[in-house]
Amino acid sequence: MQNFSFYSPASLEDALIYLSDHAETCKIIAGGTDLIPNLRDEKLHPRHMLNVLELEELGGISEIENTIRIGPTTTFAELIETALINRFLPLLVKSSSQVGGPQIRNRGTIGGNICTGSPAADVLPAVIALDGELELRSKKNGTRRIAASEAVQAPYNPNLGPDELLTGIFIHKLKPGTRCAYEKVATRNAMARAFMNLSIVLQRDEEGVISDVRIVPGAMMAFARRITVAEEVLAGKKPDEFLIAKAAETLLGDLKGVWIPDYKIPVFRNIFKRLLGELLSESCRNKERVYAD
């Protein structure tokens, strides 16, 4: 094992001071599900380690009017078990339940899933599809907020300053009638790295016209992002088979640098059509639902 100084601060203020003092040589640890294997394999050599798991300010799930705040040290198991998340953000339940196995879900945190910046993250694409916002804090610059979609724009390289800490994830409760779907494709049913995952959030008005849609593939490209060109094909229209097919083709046109494209591109087209078909079908009432409409 490597040598480093390990600091468990008593308050958020202490954490930010420590991070500011050791910005370039410090790693932040919460659940450690990615960090510990990387240390073991000597891929990282931090001189300082800041343990944020015990900071009360970084935990908990709360409701602020139409917004839900999720503390970054909330574990995947906690997300799956929390009634508020099940009721208003079921996409997070579905994506979190795809992370590793029970031991990893008991330990791993949503903040870690975002800040690790893995292209194959299971939950970050869902947070982007839910239009989440991230609250970042540093000693020098105080508090700022960025969209979840801006958090990772290069693999394993989150857009956080070296002295910045993720302190909150804010997601609007989905509007009544909004439906969402998530699917992960992997070699086996648990403890597997995703070949791909897909998060879709979709809302239709009373006439069935798509009023809002967000499509976020994960594990396809260097980082997860919305495929706005495909969203534009769907938005404002009444969907049918041809529209879905057109959206699928547009979507594929916007996927660049896909790893193993011979497998991923055709399978992704299938998954996209399948999920969208499920979301738009009338029998969807038994599927992933948000909210009573």
Q: Which residues bind another protein (CB under 8 A)?
A: 37, 101, 185-192, 195, 260, 262-263, 266-267, 270-271, 274
If the CB atoms of residues 137 and 264 are measured against another protein, the closer one turns out to be 264
Identity of the residue, 274 or 289, whose beta carbon is nearer to another protein in the bound complex: 274
End-to-end CA distance of the chain: 54
CB of 109 to another protein, least distance (A): 19
Instruction: Indicate the length of the chain as a whole number.
Output: 293
Shortest distance, CB of residue 267 to another protein, whole angstroms?
5
Token duo for residue 191: 């403890």
Looking at the Cβ atoms of 17 and 104, the one nearer to another protein is 104
The least distance separating another protein from the CB of residue 188, rounded to whole angstroms, comes to 5
In the complex, minimum distance from the CB of residue 33 to another protein, in angstroms, rounded to a whole number: 11
Residue 209 vs 245, nearer CB to another protein? 245
Q: Least Å distance between CB 269 and another protein?
A: 9
Find the shortest distance in angstroms from Cβ 58 to another protein: 27
Q: What is the DSSP string of the chain?
A: ----EEE--SSHHHHHHHHHHTGGGEEEESS-TTHHHHHHTTS---SEEEE-TT-GGG--EEEETTEEEE-TT-BHHHHHH-HHHHHH-HHHHHHHTTSS-HHHHHH-BHHHHHHH--TT-SSHHHHHHTT-EEEEEETTTEEEEEEGGGTBSSTT-BS--TT-EEEEEEEEPPPTT-EEEEEEE-SSSSS---SEEEEEEEEE-TTS-EEEEEEEEESSSSS----HHHHHHHTTS---HHHHHHHHHHHHHT--S-SSHHHHHHHHHHHHHHHHHHHHSGGGGGSSB-S--
Q: Min. distance of Cβ 184 from another protein in angstroms? A: 10
The residue (of 44 and 192) whose beta carbon lies closer to another protein is 192
Measured from the CB atom, the residue of 37 and 176 that comes closer to another protein is 37
Nearer to another protein, 229 or 260 (CB): 260
